[in-house]
Structure formats: structure tokens, C-alpha cells
A and B are shown apart, each in its own frame.
Chain A
Amino acid sequence: MIYDVVILGGGPAGLAAAVEAKNDGAENVLILERDRELGGILNQCIHNGFGLHTFNEELTGPEYAERYIDKVKDLNIPYMLDTMVLDMHDNGELKSIHVINEENGYMVIETKAVILTMGCRERTSGAIGIPGYRPSGVFTAGTAQRFINMEGYMVGKEVVILGSGDIGLIMARRMTLEGAHVQAVCELMPYSNGLVRNIVQCLDDYDIPLKLSHTITFIHGKDRLEGVTVAKVDEKLKVIPGTEEYIPCDTLLLSVGLIPENEITRNAGVTMDNRTNGAIVGELRQTSMPGVFACGNVVHVHDLVDFVSEEAVLAGKGAAKYIKGDLASEITFTTTNGDGIGYVVPQQVAMKNVEEKVTFYMRVRQVFQDKVVNAYIGDQLIATKKEKKLLPAEMVNFKIAKDVLAQYPAGEIRFVVEEAKK
């Protein structure tokens, strides 16, 4: 059997993309999921804060996932669980996906279109090179979250957390609620990386100190973690000698960054963007490989699942158009990041595929107050977005109407952070 669309990953991106593709006319859609159930990372995100934009409700992760899982089931979209994708090959008209699972063994699945939704993995202590010993008791925050919320086991009692991103903050509260003592959250930068509501509800509520401009300089303990040395860093992020402080603890949680999981993408030869660590994508999330689409954390790391779902709809639409032969491939615009902007997605826009607007997603490189994000083509200012506060932790969602873009035949759209003009 040849599928119309096969989706690699049954988390929020894959689920929303599958639903959209099916609703847009793709008949044979299949979701492949490596875990024992659909829902992806949402299954272990038992906290609130999901769905404010999508459903106008405040839901927990599992509730948000269930909304989409129900849609998948209602649409009779088949899915395989405990199934690992080993490889994807581009054979031109068709793609072949090599997968294995216990039940069916080794399978080669052929499909017209693929949507990559593999999500991301956590940066490790090895990757950031924390010096010291290598005892048990050091976890990435997500791994600890899985143990606590799904397997039902605590990972320790006296905790230090490195990284004030949302996962670290959420785990500070979770550990505390389950009886652990969180001594401190250390953050390398002079500002927190998480949503303000999480600082208030996860740290302030429980009097957990947030040590900004701090990092961990040594891990103590040969067998199980015994403590960490933390120290202050200067504006160049270098340790200030003499500021070292020893904090006894038996657990260290790391929330030091997420990395899109693109091994399959790279191996298949899809063009990558080293600013996002994800594939270069267009307005309907098509990659450099015709018929291969990507959306969600695998393209760029999101902070709100609502934007993941929004993006996944684009990919689902794109895949459905593609199999009908309706997806235009001539690129009208490319985008680039100017001053203050770290990256922009999508990196390419084919105007023929745009219905009403294009939503450009981006992140700023530092905290900005009372600025605007301006979009230029050449010297021409084409659109402006005013923001009282811009944070690297909060993705910017910049919509530009089709009519505005249609005034330009081609070019590079450059996004910059600038002063508001009077």
C-alpha cells in the first residue's frame, strides 16, 4: 500500500498535521510514534498553560493532547505505536520510510508525502561540559519529569536546578509539591529564560531562590551526587573568582536547552538551517526535498504548544496540496534575521501558496523594552509589530497580510528590532 502522507512523530505537531492533512483531502494518512502512546511530550507535561490560544481554555498537557488524539480517532487515522523510524529515503515520486516494531518487524513504508515531527531532545551536562565527577543523581529536567509523572518515582530529595527555562521552573514546583527541597535555580544569563508566570508560580510561591548570572562549576560526589559548587559570572559569562559557593544536594536537574531531533532529516539530505538547527522550510512547511514537510519543535524549538499546532496546520495543508499537485514551488521571498533577531521561520515564501497571510515566527537575541520589529524588503519598510517587551524566551508571532506581500515581486524580507518611530 502506498500512503498519501506519513507523519514521523505522534506528538502535538504530528497529531495536528495529520488532522489537517486528512481534512484537506489526504485519504491515506499514517502516524508513526516511537513511544507507547500518542501525545508526545505532552503526556508528561501535567501542568497548566496549554491551549489558551487554540481553545481559549487553560488545559494541562494531557488534556491538550487528548483533544487532538480524539480528532485523530474520529477521523480514523491509523497510527503505529512503539515504532521506531530508522531511515527515510527520497525516491523522487515516492519516499520510503524504514521502520521497526515488535509486532510487525522490519517494514518499508512507501508514501507520497512525509511530515517530519520528531520534536527535540534535551541538551546534556556532557554537552555543556560541567566539570567534576560523574555520579548518579544528575538528570535532564525532562527525564526527571517522566520518572515522576509517568513511572511515579521521585529522583531525589535535595535538589538544585541549572537553567531557568520553563522546564526547569516547572520541575522546581513539581519536585517541591512531591516533597523534595529545591535549594536554588541557577541561571547563567542575567535574566530568566522562562515565562513570567512560571517564575511567580513555581519559584516565588515556594520561596525558591533564583540565582541569575550563576553557573555550576563543579559536581561533587563519586557515587551519588553530594553537592554542587555554584559561582557568579560576569557580563562575558566568565566565572568571577571568589564567588564560589557550595550547595549540598543529591539531585541536579538540567534545563539547559533543547535541540531539534534531526538525524533522520540530515541523513536524508534535507537542507538544514544552522540558526534553528532545523530544516529550512517554506510557508507551508515544505523542506528543500519536494514532498517532505516539517513542523513543530523539529523545525525550531517552541515555547507554546498552541503555535506548534498552528504551524502543524500549515504543514498538513502543504502535504495535502502537494499530493494533489497543487503545491507551487517557485520561491518568491526568502527571509533573514537582522539586528536583534536570532532566526526567522519560514525561511522561504512561495506566494502562490499563500491564502490570506503569512505568519513569521522568530526569536529575539536579548531582552528589549518598547521596541518594534520591522520587516523590510530592501530599504522598504513593509510591516511593523510593536511590542512593549521582547524576550528570547517568548517566540514572536508576526503576521503579514498577503496583500502587503503581493506588492513586491520578489526579494529578501529582513526582520530587525528597532526603535519605535514617532
Chain B
Amino acid sequence: MKKDMTCIVCPIGCQMTIEEKADGTYEVTGNTCKRGPKYAINEMTNPTRVIPTTVVIKHAMLPRLPVKTAEPIPKGQIFDAMAAINQVVVEAPIKTGDVVIKDLLGLGIDVVATRTMDKCSF
């Protein structure tokens, strides 16, 4: 199986091609450095992404708290992750780094707050 992709590790953005060989190894062409093939193989076998989004928050100055997955999660589960994250309602006060969802989708990855929001009286 062959796949074309643009490397995102640095601004050059090499146009690479990755091919799965008969013996299960991968051949990557088009890269200019060592980091490229690592990224390409990852993208081919287990593409992952960090998801930045917001959750509902009560008693803060704003009604939404920005959060992110603490580690990249499998690309294929992005929308499942969003559905789970959208169920959450947190309450101020919250600090950057506070865990908002422990072990998202059983992946062993937390969802954490990316800003501090104090409690508001209104």
C-alpha cells in the first residue's frame, strides 16, 4: 500500500511517499531528514492528534473553558472524543492543567484545562 503525504515536522513540508513492503516494513521516499520517515510511519500506522476544544463551565466569567487532550489521541477517535468532551460540565475555579476528564475513552489520556478561570459571583 502506498500513500502520499506532506511532512509537518518542520516548515519545509517535504512531499513524501510511504510504501508498505511485503515483509511488513515501510519504505519512505521524498524526505530530507531523519524525522520525516518517523512521522510518515506514525501517520501510516497510528496517526494521532492533540484535540484542543472547549467545555461548558459554570460560575466563571465566561461560559466556556478551553481544554486539550494531554497527549495525542488516535485520529480515528476524534469525533468520539468530542462527543465525550461535550458532555462535561465543570465548575469554576479551575486551574491550567486541572484534569477535566480522566482517561478519555479508556485511552489512558486525560483532558486538561488550558487556562485558569476564577469563580465569579454572578
Q: Is chain B in direct contact with chain A in the complex (CB below 8 A)?
A: yes
A interface residue numbers (CB < 8 A to B)? 36-37, 43, 46-48, 58-63, 65-66, 148-152, 177-178, 195-197, 199-201, 204-205, 388-389, 391, 394
A389–B7 Cα distance when bound, in Å, is: 13
Chain A residues within an 8 Å CB radius of B50 = 48, 58
| Chain B nearest CB, measured from A46 CB (Å) | 4
A37–B78 Cα distance when bound, in Å, is: 31
Given contact pairs A177-B82, A389-B11, A389-B12, enumerate 8 new A-B contacts (beta carbons under 8 Å). A36-B61, A46-B66, A62-B66, A151-B63, A152-B64, A196-B6, A199-B6, A201-B8
Are A60 and B52 within 8 A (Cβ)?
yes
Most chain B CB within a 10 A radius of its CB, from A60, A61, A62, A394? A62
Chain B residues within an 8 Å CB radius of A63 = 96, 114-115
Contact of A46 among B7, B11, B52, B82 (CB under 8 A): B52
Interface size, B (range): 20 to 34
Of residues 51 through 94 on chain B, the ones whose CB sits less than 8 Å from some CB of chain A are: 51-54, 56, 61-64, 66, 68, 75, 78, 82
Contacts A46-B52, A150-B64: A62 and B11 contacting too (C-beta < 8 A)?
no
Are A391 and B11 within 8 A (Cβ)?
yes
Are B68 and A60 within 8 A (Cβ)?
yes
Chain A residues within an 8 Å CB radius of B114 = 46, 59-60, 62-63
Are A205 and B115 within 8 A (Cβ)?
no
In the complex, which residue of chain A has the Cβ closest to the Cβ of B97? A63
In the complex, which residue of chain B has the Cβ closest to the Cβ of A389? B12
A197–B53 Cα distance when bound, in Å, is: 18
Contacts A60-B114, A66-B116: A48 and B13 contacting too (C-beta < 8 A)?
no
Contact of B49 among A60, A151, A201 (CB under 8 A): A201
Q: Could you list some 16 contacts between A and B, CB below 8 A?
A: A46-B66, A48-B68, A59-B114, A62-B96, A66-B96, A149-B64, A152-B54, A152-B63, A177-B53, A177-B78, A195-B11, A196-B6, A197-B8, A200-B5, A200-B8, A391-B11
Of residues 1 through 49 on chain B, the ones whose CB sits less than 8 Å from some CB of chain A are: 5-8, 11-13, 32, 49
Chain B residues within an 8 Å CB radius of A46 = 52-54, 66, 68, 114
A65–B61 Cα distance when bound, in Å, is: 17
| Chain B nearest CB, measured from A252 CB (Å) | 23
When A and B form their complex, which 6 residue pairs have the shortest distance between CB atoms, in order from nearest? A62-B115, A196-B13, A197-B8, A46-B66, A152-B64, A60-B114
Chain A residues within an 8 Å CB radius of B68 = 46, 48, 60
Chain B residues within an 8 Å CB radius of A204 = 6
